[in-house]
Each structure stands twice: as C-alpha cells, then as structure tokens.
Amino acid sequence: MISRLCMATQSRPKAQRVFIKNVGLAVILALLAGCAKGRPVVGPIQFVDSQGAPVSAVSSLPVNGTIYLVATVTNDDEQLGVSWTANCGSAQSGGGTTGVINTACGEFTPQETASGPVPTYPSTGIIAEYTAPSVIPKGNTVTITAHATSLLSVTSSVTVTIVAASQSVAPAIASPAKRSTSASNALDLTAVRRSGCRSLKIDDRDA
C-alpha cells in the first residue's frame, strides 16, 4: 500500500508534489509547536505607582492603605492575564483550581488584570490597586497572590505586614510673642553717625 501511495505521489506533476510536501511540513511544524507549548508562568509581583512606574517593594502597609501591583504571565496564549487574591497570614491562597477571595484580608480593584508589563503608551486594566483591611488581621500579615487566570494553580506571591495607621500630629504653632509695654523693658534706639555710615546703638535698660 505504501509503495502504491509513493508511486501515486510520484506520478503527480512536480508542482503538486511540491505543494503536498510543503503542506505536510507545515502540519508537522504545527504539531511540534503544540507539543512544545508550556504551562503559564507568573513572574515576580512588581510594585508600581498609580501610573505604572516602578517603585520600591513594600513590606508593611497601614490599615486601609493602598498599593499598586503588576504581574506578568508568560505562555499566556489565550491572554487571560492575572487574577488577584489576598489571604490573611503567610500562606498563599487559591491552591488548586480556584482563587479564594477573602475581602477581610483586603480588596483588589480590579480583581482581574491583563498581563504586564505596563506599556509606555496609555493603557488600562494592567495595574491592580490593593487596599489593606480596616482591621489588622490575625498574624499581622497578608499574602497577596497573583494567579495565572488560564491556570489558577500557577501563582506568584508577596507577604505584607499590616500595621496601625500612624497617628497624625498637627505641627505645633508658636503663639506670637506679646510686646511688653512696661517702661522697664523700653529700648532706646540712638542713631550714631560714624564715617558717614549710620549705625544703631541698642540699649536695654533692664538687661
């Protein structure tokens, strides 16, 4: 049968044989590409400002405080991006097939974002804003987890300590000094001319 197929192929015009060969090669390459497709990978969570510019990593955050985060997913062929969760304590959340959303440990806006990095042109939907809980959680820490939406068990996480809000103290404002009207505190200002220059001599009678 194989010999007949080869003979049939060889009996075709040269142009048809080249076309069939090219189609077969394309199918093989497509199959190899499918086999080489890997699992999604979530890179380290990045701390940014509200515009997406990188900032220093945050290790502690006051209650109700906010930070901005970006995560990049590679091998995200469907471009499903990132799903964000927070878990009270040092253990990351959302193992298995679902991401656990626990608003008592803080909230994200939005809950899902596109994959980073943040482009240089104006864009939306890539930066997640995290707001810390209003009460310090048990253990004082929150673990923030970025899940690959296409495969939620693939994650990257950071742990942040939640602290009490700083007590704001208004700056002390000194009261204006009162001018004494007592004759004993009177100052004599005497104009003295020396070498054509005028200077002031101050005598404090009660000094």
Cα–Cα distance, 190 to 196 (Å, whole number): 16
CA torsion, ordered 114, 120, 123, 128, to nearest 10 deg:
50
Lowest-pLDDT choice from 37-51, 116-130, 190-204: 190-204
The two three-digit tokens of residue 89, written as one number: 């304590």
The CA-atom distances, in angstroms, between 75 and each of 37, 42, 85, 123, 182 are 8, 9, 21, 21, 85
Would you state the pLDDT for residue 32? 46
CA 83 to chain centre: 14
Alpha helices in the chain (DSSP H): 2-11, 14-36
d(CA 84, CA 82): 6
User: Residue 101: its pLDDT value, please?
Assistant: 60
Least confident of 3-7, 72-76, 155-159, 162-166: 3-7
CA atoms within 13 A on the CB side of 98: 3
Write down all domains in the chain, each with its CATH number in brackets. 2-36 (no CATH), 41-163 (2.60.40.10)
The answer on pLDDT for 42 being more than 90 is yes
Query: Is the pLDDT higher at 109 or at 138?
Result: 109
